[in-house]
Structure 1
């Protein structure tokens, strides 16, 4: 007999986090999330201070066959002047009855919270975190902080009446197969920026707290026109920055600064998913911690996680300088693969710029919507 259970205990939460490990146990491309990180995200993240999340598990008899989280993002609704609800953390066996039960309970819960607009997702918890359903590019593992799922998920979601809202594109470079024009022009581009008192520098980790305050302003300004964007609160940005500091390479953490004001930043991250893939069920103990500590030197790829320029400073060559500096470091460090993204499919300016440096649009993620 199939049933839905609300996650209400530590045992339920552990089962919720662990379900994908069993579902994907035979999938060569699956990367387990770290248990401790998922647990903290679902219980301690500052998002919970102003918003609500309810997780659900689907059972067939005593076996878990699906999961979903219903998410009431008050900040999204206030910022965008809507009354929507989200779903996230969706994983399910290939069974329309089970997926429908999950979407039904999430919708019912959101309605009970007063939501009258759209059901949107998948997001974990917003577009500031991993989001989108993989719909193209199933032949490789996801990069750090990207989602992954079976191809049949799209049909399960669409069977519930959810339709495409927008697609998100991830771009790939293999080895040295990129256009290094921005590297060759780097010196002249930087000289041109200097004439406007703009310099490119690395983030100062010794003054990380002060840097974080400035970076938050840029982040909330540079992405404010993106679909589904919600400004991060101070606590949320600090939480994100603290996590990123643990894994960033200072050579890939860059800012553009004019007279002490940060006007842009670019951040690429070592692709720790190469290590996480080897950590069974996402558990750092007893042996996972050693794989994490000693595996960094063997990482072969990076993800260009974010590159944003505030309004009034675009089309000045800052983007090219940031990309050029990242590519230069990538080349010097001998990495073999790089991913950038995601980018919105309708962001023509940035997509054309990435194509110009030979980016390959190799994965596509989809956000769905349905009127509740």
Structure 2
């Protein structure tokens, strides 16, 4: 496909094509202040249909833009067939395609890439497009529009501020805001939170326990069941499959520390969970995203004892039957309090980050506000009719 100013948009496939696609993204990321280089092998797996179980229910096309033979941008177009079955009022639904992995040298390239992604989706009967979502909603959704002044934490995207204007100039409008919140975990929680936690501790029906890493696969299935129930009414929700949980649990196991990940039980029944990851971006920045020659050794040492690491809470959930109840907030605050104490006492951590959180998720926003957190990053997902 050729567009104005002799920009050629090449559809990419195969091992060599995926390698070029990933390397181009890494090159663009290196230009953005405070970006953190990610492991090339991990990025390659995410776009490999033979490796990433996301492709068990999705199809995608990668594109690279070239000008004068030089690669000047990239984008993905993809359709998640599970998302097509979600009610449209939840953001996805019939006819909804997506774009992701968006990088461009200038606005002309951006327009050409977005046009190519739209044409691919339109040819497959999609009637609207959301993005950027790279590539599953559970991976890196949204474009960073506020917060470029600090490095991203683990599994969070990082983009230059000018991408927003280029996307909007191509006819896109914001449809959903995602927020992350940061807090100083060395400080005591407000008195109200402390009283809620003490009340829960005095409730004999409630048990807050660590995940058992020796039974991590089983624990991951418990988390999946709660997650798919708790998030099922949220905007953008697409259910995690068992294959995706198995894949993610294997990938995440090296950064799982039992004292930082909790399951809450009521009368012996698991009803809530909270996952917390030490920010591996801290060490990836030091090794420049490279395992060789000695990066693997630094990474392994850090994973064993991530002393001083920032902590991110990427996921938590409470069964829907408890939503809007006093017990739900009580369980959340009890897990947060336990994780905070362990992060500071055992890992000498000072900073935590919660999110992403949907702007209209009243329950989670209320929890963040009660903890006196501050919004430190804002992401936008855009939409356009095709």
TM-score of the aligned structures, taking structure 1 as reference length? 0.93
Looking at structure 2, the residues matched to 217 and 26 of structure 1 have their Cα atoms a distance apart, in angstroms, of 40
Q: In the alignment, does 2:123 pair up with 1:112?
A: yes
Looking at structure 2, the residues matched to 223 and 178 of structure 1 have their Cα atoms a distance apart, in angstroms, of 29
Q: Which residue of 1 aligns with 2:349?
A: 335
Q: In the alignment, does 2:217 pair up with 1:203?
A: no
Specify which of 100, 104, 118 is matched with residue 92 of structure 1.
Answer: 104
Q: Which residue of 2 aligns with 1:311?
A: 320
Query: Where does structure 1 differ by over 4 angstroms across 4 or more consecutive aligned residues?
Result: none
Instruction: Give unmatched runs, 5+ long, in structure 1.
Output: none
Give, in angstroms, the shift of residue 184 of structure 1.
Answer: 6.5
Q: In the alignment, does 2:13 pair up with 1:4?
A: no
| CA gap 1:241/1:180 in 2 versus in 1, 3 angstroms | farther
Q: In the alignment, does 2:84 pair up with 1:77?
A: yes
Q: Give the number of equivalent residue pairs.
A: 366
TM-score of the aligned structures, taking structure 2 as reference length? 0.90
Contact kept in structure 2, 1:92 and 1:99, CA below 8 Å:
yes
Q: In the alignment, does 2:36 pair up with 1:31?
A: yes
| CA gap 1:328/1:175 in 2 versus in 1, 3 angstroms | closer
Q: In the alignment, does 2:362 pair up with 1:362?
A: no
Contact kept in structure 1, 2:10 and 2:65, CA below 8 Å:
yes
Q: Which residue of 2 aligns with 1:242?
A: 250
Looking at structure 2, the residues matched to 292 and 299 of structure 1 have their Cα atoms a distance apart, in angstroms, of 15
Looking at structure 2, the residues matched to 171 and 150 of structure 1 have their Cα atoms a distance apart, in angstroms, of 20
Give, in angstroms, the shift of residue 185 of structure 1.
Answer: 5.2
Looking at structure 2, the residues matched to 8 and 311 of structure 1 have their Cα atoms a distance apart, in angstroms, of 41
Looking at structure 2, the residues matched to 178 and 347 of structure 1 have their Cα atoms a distance apart, in angstroms, of 25
Within-5 A mapping of 1:1-372: 1-43=6-48, 44-80=51-87, 81-93=93-105, 95-116=106-127, 118-174=128-184, 176-177=186-187, 179=189, 181=191, 182=193, 186-192=197-203, 194=204, 197-280=205-288, 282-296=289-303, 297-314=306-323, 315-316=326-327, 317-332=330-345, 333-372=347-386
Looking at structure 2, the residues matched to 129 and 265 of structure 1 have their Cα atoms a distance apart, in angstroms, of 19
Contact kept in structure 2, 1:70 and 1:109, CA below 8 Å:
yes
Give, in angstroms, the shift of residue 69 of structure 1.
Answer: 0.5
Could you say what the CA RMSD is over the residues aligned between the two structures, in angstroms? 1.7
Looking at structure 2, the residues matched to 186 and 253 of structure 1 have their Cα atoms a distance apart, in angstroms, of 17
After the TM superposition, which of the residue ranges 347-356 and 222-231 deviates more from structure 2? 347-356
